[in-house]
Amino acid sequence: MAPRSIWNGTITFGLVNVPIKLYSATESKTVHFHEVHLRDGAQIEYRRFCSKEDKEVEYKDVVKGYEVSEGTYVVLEKDEVKAAAGDRGKVVHLTEFVPAAQIDPVFYEKTYYVGSGEAKDAYRLLHEALRRSGRAGIGRFTFHDREYLVAVRALDDVLALHTLRFHDEVVSGDELEIEPGSRRPSRQELQMADRLIDALQEDFDPSKYEDSYREAVLDLIKRKGKGEEIDLAEQEEPAHGDDLMAALEASLGSR
């Protein structure tokens, strides 16, 4: 069954218009709980209260305000927030292309799959051209009244649209002020570390990594569901020694 699209629009590169549909490419599998009252197991619900009157407030009497200074708010109507979305509508203009490999992982935010709309030939052509050139098209995308910077690239047989962080949203290493330490690692230590990296080198295979914590939580729920007593065991911390060389040697020796 075809998945449900979440946005229909057009990607353009120059005068070529490619009608497209967007699909979620990712989903969180985190175990979600409801909040309940410990005493009686009843659901917890959240109610809105006016902090001044100490009275419950209905949702229709709630507005959104931006705090310009302590306690002073500028209230925006829904339509006014919409005005910030700009006039781009449902179009993503790819205005320039960059080598996809140059985009540092730190910029990638969220990924969507791009499927074809009508005019499937144009979709196929864009996919093939991006795949062959190894480039990503850069453009802007308006979704739920918010504009994003995006990169569109070929991912296997489909196109992917990645929302990107803006440069000022990314913290640079220079801002960290890390102490350099008085003694640099010795050449011998570096060589040992190199050998250790080589020994642990492998191809990237995401299927090797399972969320064992999620499994453990689900298992806990099942055991609790059967009425089992849960053992609240203590955790142990790894020791860390100061002898780098000995630790490196021992690591290599144990392989």
Partner 1 sequence: MARPLWSGSLSFGLVNVPVQLVTAARDLDFHFHELHEKDNARIEQRRFCTKEDEEVTWEEVAHSYDLDGKQVVVTDDELGSVQPRKTRTIEVEAFVELADVEPIFFNHPYFLVPAGESEGTLRAYRLLVDAMGKSGRAALGRFVMRTKEYLAAVRVRDGALTLTTMLFEDEVRPSSAIPTGGKKPSKKEVDQAVTLIEELSTDWEPDRYEDCYRERLRRVIEDKRKRRKIEPPEPEKQPSATPDLMAALEATLANARAGRPIREEPSSNGDRSELERLNKDDLGERAKKAGIKGRTKMSKKELIEALSDG
* Distance of closest approach, residue 226 Cβ to partner 1, in angstroms: 9
Of 6, 7, 51, 144, the one binding partner 1 (CB under 8 A) is 51
| Binders of partner 1 in range 124-163 (CB under 8 A) | 124-130, 132-133, 135, 137-138, 140, 146-149, 155-158, 160, 162
Applying the rule CB under 8 A, the residues between 170 and 209 that interact with partner 1 are: 170-185, 189-190, 193-194, 196-197, 200-204, 206-209
- The CA distance from 163 to 151, in Å, is 7
Q: What is the signed CA dihedral for 46, 50, 52, 55, rounded to 10 degrees?
A: -80
Residues 88, 147 contacting (CB under 8 angstroms): yes
- 70 binding partner 1? (CB under 8 A): no
Looking at 6, 70, 163, 240, which residue binds partner 1 (CB under 8 A)?
240
Q: Write down the least CB distance from residue 203 to partner 1, Å.
A: 7
Q: How far is the CB of 81 from partner 1 (least distance, A)?
A: 7
Dig out the tokens for 118 from the structure.
């009508």
Binding-site size for partner 1 (CB under 8 A) equals 188
Answer yes or no: are the C-beta atoms of 168 and 149 closer than 8 Å: no
Q: How far apart are CA 9 and CA 241, in angstroms?
A: 58
- Interface with partner 1 in residues 208-227 (CB under 8 A): 208-214, 216-217, 219-222, 224-225
Q: CA–CA separation, 160 vs 152, rounded Å?
A: 6
Figure out which of the listed residues 70, 97, 144, 152 binds partner 1, where binding follows CB under 8 A. 97
- 20: number of Cβ within 10 Å: 26
Interface with partner 1 (CB under 8 A), residue from 7, 12, 152, 163: 12
Question: Which residues are CB-contacts of 9 (< 8 A; sequence separation ≥ 6)?
Answer: 19, 20, 22, 89, 90, 91, 92
Q: Which one of residues 7, 21, 70, 163 is an interface residue with partner 1 (CB under 8 A)? A: 21
User: Both tokens of residue 2?
Assistant: 């075809």
Figure out which of the listed residues 70, 118, 144, 163 binds partner 1, where binding follows CB under 8 A: 118
